[in-house]
Structure 1
Amino acid sequence: MSADTARLAVIVKGWPRLSETFIAQELVALEEAGVEFEIWSLRHPTDTKTHPLHARLRAPVHYLPEYLKDEPLRVLRGFLHALMRPGFADTWRILRADYARDRTPNRLRRFGQACVLARELPPQTRGLYAHFLHTPASVARYGAILRALPWSFSAHAKDIWTSPEWELREKLSANSFGADFGATCTRFGAAHLRTLADREDRIDLVYHGLDLTRFPPPPARARRQPDDPIALMSVGRLVEKKGFDRLIEAFALLPDTLDWHWTHIGGGAMRDALQALAQHHGVAHRITWRGASDQPEVIEAMRKADLFVLPSRVASDGDRDGLPNVLMEAASQKLAILSTPVSAIPEFIDTGVHGVLSDDAPASIAREIETIARNPDVARKMADAAYTRLVMQFQMPPGIALLKERLTRMLRGAP
């Protein structure tokens, strides 16, 4: 695809990112469905690996100035160009109102990035689509006003639950140059955003789902016996909302008669603290820290494991998971699941049917790990049920079809 045919600009926080396979999956599917776009990233990549999905994307990728001071001439040209745009007065007014309530360098940076974006967008661009309702949507909104174009967004988790209400309301209102529409990946998140929007039909529920053609069929698992060792694994960033600190505390409560090992995949700021916590509780020798891994490595680990554990919780700043794709990936390999009833996780897992949902107290997690380990036939039955639910209700194509229809309608209505 050449820049001459681009009609949609997709704004993302960073590209590519190992922790955001759901974005890569969606964009590849939209491209294969015939949606023409270019990617505009607010940040350069920091991961040393990529997923095979990233290599399938043909869309051009552009990087906006991550910090305005790093590319002052590019930012200056963007600002001078913005001054000449008919939408500058409205954008400046909205920026001043936003800055009065959010006096941070980040707010000014987003405006500077939007000026660069508005100047450098191909003339064929007819709309903008931002992944995440916080900073990427701010850049999209400012840029869309400058270019007199419609914009839309996909909201996920942190962006919904940690953004101030005033900002969400304005991004969801036509009277304040809000989004043409928004998609979000959980019923839980959609219900919340609809209470803030000026019209409920502005918000669509679009589950990420899985493209099962990218995954191998479930393995033929060896039958575990109640006293066999159990291989536990988790995938997720080492951040507060994932609850891995409480999982490590739970490991310390497991009985000596249970032979277990836990493998963690993912990076994150809490790695050193969690490794120290494992040492403190005397369980470090039973843990393997794999670090960031690409999706084939994740799936390979899932095929070798007996139980997937994700003890999600609400972080102190209100951040929380939506419906983590890794739960569906685990289900795709018929891996038994232990998680918590946070946010939209119960939308995929009925506890006792498709997996087990525990509260996040270490004693509760430990009790459920032991119960699942001692009852392998029950675990197998739940894993089978989760796989069936995934296949019947959580495949990707229906959501992509709805999203393509919404984006196409937005682009057709553009000036």
Structure 2
Amino acid sequence: MSQPRKIVVLLKGYPRLSETFIAQELLGLERAGLDLVLVSLRRPTDRKRHPVHDEIKAPVHYLPEYLHEEPIRVLRGLFTSFRAPGFATAFSRFLKDLRRDFSRNRFRRFGQAAVLVREWPESADWLHAHFIHTPASVASYASQMLGIPWTVSAHAKDIWTSEDWELAGKLATAHWAVTCTKSGHAHLQTLAAQNRNRVHLSYHGLDLDRFPRFEHARPPRDGSDAAAPVTIISVGRAVPKKGYDVLLRAFAKLPAELHWRFVHAGDGGERPKLQKLADELGIADRTTWLGAVDQKDVLEAYRKADIFALACRITADGDRDGLPNVLVEAASQRLTCVATDISGIPELFEDDVNGLLVPSEDAAALAGALERAIRDPALRERLGQAAEAKVRGSFDHHASISQLKGLFEAGAREAA
């Protein structure tokens, strides 16, 4: 069956602890027989790696993160790309984009594309970008210079914080695009206009081999015993769109006689501010901040917990989550999930059927849902079982890998 000989996958940064869904997809595509080369716009900043990163065999190359740091490499890239068959087309596109977005980032994207053209891996004949903002800009310019097809996986922030004109321009030249929520899919289809059939909905899913069934019964804790508090866990970067300030305020509204503890796993720039807020709210002694943890430690934390909570929001600049992978992970471990009803979260959970959903920014409603879940272990068991069944029935990552492989194969046949 026809498929690209070698696919260059362009990433914003690699590896990243917060992007296990991308690493899982890369490994799945490798195991499905696709030959990958990873190219990253940034070098890693996380001190830890997930086991999945060590299982990916694809070589990794890094483009200049800042052009002034490697001027000779950039000049060589520009000299080589100037002689590329599609340079004039790409440069014309760059100038058109520059008139709308005159920024250092725009120059950087074109310079990185030129370096990629010069250092293009031998026998590679396809370019795929993860995220439709910065990586897709580099990919579109390089694709035009080289005259090869390019495709893109769009996610959440990259869709909702990008200008419509830029998204429409990229969708007009991309061979196809995938995204992971119905709202993102509908938005991109509208912008793609006559090319709307090139935009596909593809849930990331979960590698259930890494998240096997949790066979043990959780203790029927109900918050009445100080020696056996109900444990609520959340996993995610401490950034505004995760709504951790709202979650902490919800905890502070819980009845004083209720015994609980909160565990947060993840790094992020907002963590010192959140720790200060927990202290101001008088709940610091019930809160544990684990920092960055790998996938194995996350799995263990899920299994020790009674409830998973996430208070996602849409920020003022439009940034938001799609369908946070951590919710899928937690549900796979039969955890009751309490979350907000934004973006793709209602595509996994139905309120009071397999989870508890509340409006975003509503600390009182969130506190009510948490109190209900804390006091009622039977409710937690019912919701947790239903959530696990939904994940294992509809969110196995093999389905998304098969879909992506099919798209790459169809694209290769069309381009032949």
- TM category (shorter chain) comes to over 0.9
1:130 CA displacement:
0.3
User: In the alignment, which of 204, 207, 221 is matched to residue 208 of structure 1?
Assistant: 204
What is the alpha-carbon distance in structure 2 between the residues aligned to residue 366 and residue 41 of structure 1?
41
1:302-331 CA distances to partner (integer Å, 9 max, x unpaired)?
000000001101011101110111011001
SS in 1 for 2:261: strand
What is the alpha-carbon distance in structure 2 between the residues aligned to residue 380 and residue 123 of structure 1?
54
Q: Which residue of 1 aligns with 2:397?
A: 396
C-alpha contact 1:127 1:414 (8 A) present in aligned 2: no
SS in 2 for 1:14: coil
Q: How does 1:144-293 map to 2 (within 5 A)?
A: 144-173=143-172, 178-198=173-193, 199-226=195-222, 227-228=224-225, 229-293=229-293
**Please, which moves more after superposition, 58-67 or 353-362?**
353-362
Unaligned runs of 5+ in 1: none
- Letter of the 1:180 counterpart: H
C-alpha contact 1:6 1:37 (8 A) present in aligned 2: no
1:188 CA displacement:
1.8
Q: Which residue of 2 aligns with 1:368?
A: 369
What is the alpha-carbon distance in structure 1 between the residues aligned to residue 218 and residue 205 of structure 2?
28
1:195-250 CA distances to partner (integer Å, 9 max, x unpaired)?
11032211111110011111232141233143242101100111111000011111
Unaligned runs of 5+ in 2: none
SS in 2 for 1:96: helix
Aligned residues: 407
- Letter of the 2:204 counterpart: H
- Letter of the 2:365 counterpart: S
SS in 2 for 1:19: helix
What is the alpha-carbon distance in structure 2 between the residues aligned to residue 332 and residue 319 of structure 1?
27
**TM-score w.r.t. structure 1 length?**
0.96
What is the alpha-carbon distance in structure 2 between the residues aligned to residue 161 and residue 233 of structure 1?
28
SS in 1 for 2:12: strand
C-alpha root-mean-square deviation of aligned residues, in Å?
Answer: 1.2
- Letter of the 1:371 counterpart: R
C-alpha contact 2:181 2:203 (8 A) present in aligned 1: yes
SS in 2 for 1:11: strand
What is the alpha-carbon distance in structure 2 between the residues aligned to residue 45 and residue 414 of structure 1?
34
1:47-102 CA distances to partner (integer Å, 9 max, x unpaired)?
01000000110001000001111111110000001111121111111101111111
What is the alpha-carbon distance in structure 1 between the residues aligned to residue 149 and residue 251 of structure 2?
50
Q: Which residue of 2 aligns with 1:322?
A: 322
1:6 CA displacement:
5.8
SS in 1 for 2:88: helix
Q: Percent identity?
A: 49
C-alpha contact 2:218 2:306 (8 A) present in aligned 1: no
What is the alpha-carbon distance in structure 2 between the residues aligned to residue 121 and residue 270 of structure 1?
38
- Letter of the 2:62 counterpart: Y
1:137 CA displacement:
0.4
SS in 2 for 1:190: helix
Q: Which residue of 1 aligns with 2:104?
A: 105
What is the alpha-carbon distance in structure 2 between the residues aligned to residue 43 and residue 225 of structure 1?
45
